Amino acid sequence: MPCCAQTSLNFVKSAINARFVGKEPWQIIACTTSTVLLTVWIYNFVFDDEPIINRLKRTFFKYVKLIPSIRRKIESEMDKVNTEFERDMSSKTAHLKYFTTLPEKALSSTEILKIVDDVLSLGSYDYKAGLVSGTVYTMNKDIKDITKEVYGRTSYTNPLHTDVFPGICKMEAEIVRVTANLFHGDSKTCGCVTSGGTESILMACKAYRDYARAVRGVKKPEIVVPVTIHSAFDKAAQYFNLRVKSIPVDNNYQVNIKAMKQAISSNTVMIAGSAPNYPYGTMDDIEAISELGLKYNIPVHVDACLGGFLTIFMNEAGYPTPVTDFRLPGVTSISADTHKYGYTPKGTSVILYSDTKYRHYQYTVTTDWPGGVYGSPTVAGSRAGGNIAVCWATMLTLGKEGYVKATRDVIHTTRYIEKHLRDIPSIFIFGQPATSVVAIGSNVFEIYRLAGMLNEKGWNLNTLQYPSAIHICVTHVHAQPGVADRFINDIKASLEVILKNPEQPVEGKMALYGQAQSIPDRSIVGDFTRCFIDSIYYTPKGSAQK
């Protein structure tokens, strides 16, 4: 040992000894124990799941809200918001009868179908004419006809009962295999049909958490994801107790690979990228993420929920796109939604793994339940066999040719809109739209004003925050003749009005989005959101019998 190190060691030793001269053994023990406990406490406090700044902020707001005058103010605001949300919901539905108890006598099918038509006419947006972003991905009549027939025949099936409905299981297996082949998997590639993109993502996160726990003994699992990744990953983190490390994006709205690399630790159970992401429609550098996964031996999930059923057909449709699937050796799973650009009715998505060893950790198995040995592949126990059959039928109705054509239509329309919007000087496009989403911002005026004016013209776009932006997700419904031009012209007409007075603040409903962003206490925004969800379950006052 070098002599200076030895000297300082001796110095520390004698300093400690001097400090404890004359102390009784119990005092030394008590002092040691409390020092250790304090160190552990400080360590846990500093290195908690949530950054220290967020926790301090949260605690601060928690105590501020205990001040009676502030608490009363918040409660009265919350009451107002609640009433507002309820009024909004009831104003849309009030002219219809509410069923609040089971009708004594059966309704006839004519009566029921009449009510269904009434209910369907409630929304004020013309999604069939292509005025709504995303949401409805096709109006294809062949698909509608066949799915109606197929659902009618399979609505009571349940693949949980494999012995009763082996044919539904075959259909599910075929959907998975076809999708695995489309994403260039091999004989080890496997997967499941889930109820939607969120469930597919939940399943991947669950599988990787349990895989890391079993294989590497990871007890404090973390996932490393771009800040632009879908909120389903936060949902997975909340459900499965994962820590989310959110990685910022570069100026081109792709995840910063260097920051992602730095965030990887011995607790990382998964890294992920979007192909593309929901907010901006930009594609992360999946090849680089795949390489990180290989280098650190960590599973890589590609969220292709939105774009998967476009990217796999884009090359053939004449729009070359980067490889984002199992051809990249680090990619271990892909989520791809059949109920988006797979054009099936809502209720299915596919989760794929490069290896069965991951899928095994997705399953839940209980071996000692009195009801028998119980194993199920996904979140649900019983599952809608009808949804699987309808998904299967849609895929076969379109065939590869149908998908390539639909993809060409969607991408052509998106590029057309993008090109014309880029020519307008007062707005800009975020990054490079990879598939079908175009996000719009402005440095000249408040972009939510444009959303508001388009709304008045019947458009329903999506609003983004941090920074303020709006986006359109182009579906096959927008590929109908005239829709793209109508969109571009409505934007131009709105801008003529807006630019007469560019400084004017946002007004009306759209102002809420701006305000929501500027509230520093995010728990209030959370409470508002909970009130909003409550309002979905609105029934008129007095409808409870007790």
In the complex, the residues that contact ligand PLP under the rule CB under 6 A are 196-198, 230, 232, 274, 277-278, 303, 305-306, 337, 349
Residues 6+ apart with CB under 8 A from 261: 292
Q: What minimum distance in Å lies between the beta carbon of 284 and ligand PLP?
A: 11
Q: Which is nearer to ligand PLP, 284 or 446 (CB)?
A: 284
Q: Report d(CA 534, CA 525) in Å as an integer.
A: 14
Q: What minimum distance in Å lies between the beta carbon of 233 and ligand PLP?
A: 9
Nearest to 296 by CA among 266, 323, 255: 266
Nearest to 290 by CA among 271, 269, 263, 262: 271
Let me know if 527 is exposed, middle or buried by CB neighbors in 10 A (0-12, 13-18, 19+). middle
Q: What minimum distance in Å lies between the beta carbon of 476 and ligand PLP?
A: 16
User: Which residue minimizes CB distance to ligand PLP?
Assistant: 197
Cβ–Cβ under 8 Å, residues 460 and 136: no
Q: Which is nearer to ligand PLP, 133 or 158 (CB)?
A: 133
Q: What minimum distance in Å lies between the beta carbon of 145 and ligand PLP?
A: 24
Q: Which is nearer to ligand PLP, 130 or 134 (CB)?
A: 134
Q: Which is nearer to ligand PLP, 140 or 198 (CB)?
A: 198
Q: Which is nearer to ligand PLP, 195 or 535 (CB)?
A: 195
**DSSP letter at 163?**
T
Nearest to 402 by CA among 334, 336, 344: 344
Q: What minimum distance in Å lies between the beta carbon of 437 and ligand PLP?
A: 8
Q: Report d(CA 345, CA 405) in Å as an integer.
A: 19
Q: Report d(CA 156, CA 150) in Å as an integer.
A: 11
Q: Which is nearer to ligand PLP, 218 or 411 (CB)?
A: 411
Q: What minimum distance in Å lies between the beta carbon of 32 and ligand PLP?
A: 51
Torsions phi, psi for 157 (to 5 deg):
-85, 160
Sequence letter at residue 545:
Q
**Residue that has been written with the tokens 């709105």 in this structure:** 494
Q: What minimum distance in Å lies between the beta carbon of 403 and ligand PLP?
A: 18
Q: Which is nearer to ligand PLP, 196 or 299 (CB)?
A: 196
Q: Which is nearer to ligand PLP, 274 or 535 (CB)?
A: 274
Cis before residue 276, ω within 30 degrees of 0?
yes
Q: Report d(CA 194, CA 191) in Å as an integer.
A: 9
Q: What minimum distance in Å lies between the beta carbon of 493 and ligand PLP?
A: 29
Q: Report d(CA 143, CA 343) in Å as an integer.
A: 8
Q: Report d(CA 484, CA 481) in Å as an integer.
A: 8
